[in-house]
């Protein structure tokens, strides 16, 4: 299928048997469909269009779906598109996405593309770059080619990649000037999930990637000029910290914390990036991913355990967690480890949530309206 092709999705209503919540399935369980990684901007500011990926004719490409009628415009074509690492700019004018070793800015009005960065020979990019809130800068992790463990599309190589102790570096890219520089480099550590602090492009949050019980410490901060590298939170192998994200105002970043001594009891925590003061905020179910809405009045998370197969909604003011609906996903891989991860995310105005699930056999995208 060619770029510019229009396809049609038929919406299907479902009533959740656990909570009575109405869901809308946006894509059919005929091919793999999913939305981008949960902390990327995937819905336009008017709440009308959704960026998503669909696998058709053996290739995955990006589409823009009209959430009113299900029609979708094919944005990319051909092989090598990274189907999770894409983001709209804050004004919806551009889509930033990755194809093989290139990072591309697409004009959403004309679909014209501009390559503004290409990873140099000898290095492999991690396909989860972080975009600054002013859309000017981007951070990217690259791994030296000699240390890359080829993915088999499942989790079998995850610990192997950590054990390789790869040579990694964080690149800081000026999109307008098309310039780049190395911010940080480690010879024997797998780096991942670089995120620029909102409203402060000089501060970068990143992680030491790998199995939670293997890494030295997950949360790290550094300035864009390479100074003030600091471990945000030391941890032991009995502790697990995961899926950190910045609050939209940049005041704090959030993460979930578990400890083996408490049967991996989980809590939501926040940290001030300047003082590294940690706030143990509330107990929660065991989320795989979670994120706040724009004004941080609600948090959504996806339960990871078999008995916690729910999309959870947290009222921030009340510090209370509610079961919104069952996501019912298997967490299986369909060629990518993330394919059936729910990755719940809010619309810009917080009136609905998008998530992915294979509850009907193949990963589909679901929409849940909030009261």
* Pair 136, 201 in one domain: yes
Task: Specify if 146 maps to a domain.
Answer: yes
CB neighbours of residue 71 within 10 Å? 14
* Pair 11, 58 in one domain: yes
* Pair 178, 240 in one domain: yes
Q: Please give the Cα distance from 24 to 365 (Å, whole number).
A: 9
Mean pLDDT of 261-287: 91
* Pair 88, 144 in one domain: no
pLDDT at position 75:
98
Q: Global pTM?
A: 0.97
Q: What's the whole-number average pLDDT of the chain?
A: 96
* Pair 154, 261 in one domain: yes
* Domain housing 142: 121-284
Mean pLDDT of 249-253: 98
- Beta strands at 102-107 and 94-99: parallel, antiparallel or unpaired: antiparallel
Mean pLDDT of 289-313: 97
Most distant pair of Cα atoms in the chain: their distance: 55
DSSP 265-331: EEEEEEE-TTT--EEEEEEE--EEEEEE-TTSSEEEEEE-SGGG-EEEEEETTTTEEEEEEE-----
| Nearest residue to 270 via CA among 296, 303, 295 | 296
* Pair 45, 191 in one domain: no
Phi (first) and psi of residue 64, to 5 degrees? -120, 115
Last residue of a domain, one of 284, 315, 349: 284
Residues 354/16, Cβ–Cβ less than 8 Å: no
| Nearest residue to 278 via CA among 300, 254, 244, 249 | 254
Mean pLDDT of 8-20: 97
Task: Specify if 307 maps to a domain.
Answer: no
* Pair 130, 275 in one domain: yes
Domain count, the chain: 2
- Assign residue 238 the CATH number of its domain: 2.130.10.10
Mean pLDDT of 262-271: 85
pLDDT at position 263:
66
Q: What is the pLDDT of residues 192-235, one digit of tens each?
A: 999 999 999 999 999 999 998 899 999 999 999 999 999 999 99
Residues 42/345, Cβ–Cβ less than 8 Å: yes
Task: Specify if 255 maps to a domain.
Answer: yes
Tokens matching residue 130: 């972080």
* Pair 232, 363 in one domain: no
Task: Specify if 196 maps to a domain.
Answer: yes
Q: Please give the Cα distance from 105 to 96 (Å, whole number).
A: 5
Task: Specify if 251 maps to a domain.
Answer: yes
Percent pLDDT > 90 in the chain is 94
* Pair 227, 95 in one domain: no
CA distances from 61 to 77, 102, 137, 219 (A): 6, 15, 24, 32
- Coil, helix or strand at residue 201: coil
Phi (first) and psi of residue 183, to 5 degrees? -90, -40
Task: Specify if 1 maps to a domain.
Answer: yes
Handedness of CA 119, 122, 127, 130 (dihedral sign): negative
Q: What is the pLDDT of residues 149-173, one digit of tens each?
A: 999 989 999 999 999 999 999 999 9
* Pair 104, 212 in one domain: no
Task: Specify if 315 maps to a domain.
Answer: no
Task: Specify if 31 maps to a domain.
Answer: yes
* Pair 128, 267 in one domain: yes
* Pair 194, 76 in one domain: no
């Amino acid at each position: 299928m060619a770029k510019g092709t229009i396809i049609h999705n038929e919406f299907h209503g479902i009533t959740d048997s656990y909570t009575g919540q109405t869901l809308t399935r946006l894509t059919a369980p005929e091919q793999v469909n999913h939305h981008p990684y949960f902390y990327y901007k995937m819905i336009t500011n008017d709440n009308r269009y959704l960026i998503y990926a669909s696998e058709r004719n053996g290739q995955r490409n990006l589409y823009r779906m009209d959430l009113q009628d299900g029609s979708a415009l094919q944005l990319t074509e051909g092989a090598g598109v990274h189907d999770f690492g894409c983001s709209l700019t804050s004004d919806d004018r551009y889509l930033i996405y990755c194809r093989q070793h290139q990072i591309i800015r697409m004009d959403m009005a004309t679909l014209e593309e501009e390559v503004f960065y290409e990873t140099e020979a000898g290095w492999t990019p991690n396909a989860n770059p972080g975009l600054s809130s002013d859309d000017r800068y981007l951070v990217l992790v690259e791994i030296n080619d000699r240390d890359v463990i080829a993915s088999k599309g499942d989790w079998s190589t995850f610990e192997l990649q950590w054990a390789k102790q790869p040579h990694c570096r964080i690149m800081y890219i000026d999109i307008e000037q098309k310039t780049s520089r190395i911010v940080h480099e480690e010879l024997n550590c797998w780096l991942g999930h670089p995120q620029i602090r909102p409203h402060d492009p000089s501060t970068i949050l990143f992680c030491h990637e790998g199995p939670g019980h293997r890494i030295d410490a997950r949360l790290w901060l550094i300035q864009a000029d390479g100074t003030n590298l600091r471990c945000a939170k030391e941890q032991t192998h009995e502790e697990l910290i995961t899926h950190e994200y910045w609050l939209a105002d940049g005041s704090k970043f959030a993460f979930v914390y578990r400890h083996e001594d408490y049967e991996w009891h989980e809590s939501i925590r926040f940290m001030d990036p300047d003082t590294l003061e940690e706030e143990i905020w509330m107990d929660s179910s065991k989320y795989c991913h979670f994120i706040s809405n724009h004004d941080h009045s609600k948090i959504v998370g996806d339960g990871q355990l078999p008995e916690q197969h729910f999309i959870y909604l947290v009222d921030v003011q009340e510090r209370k967690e509610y079961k919104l609906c069952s996501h019912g996903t298997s967490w299986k891989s369909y060629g990518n480890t993330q394919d059936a991860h729910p990755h719940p995310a809010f619309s810009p105005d917080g009136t609905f949530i998008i998530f992915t699930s294979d509850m009907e056999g193949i990963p589909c995208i679901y929409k849940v309206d909030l009261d």
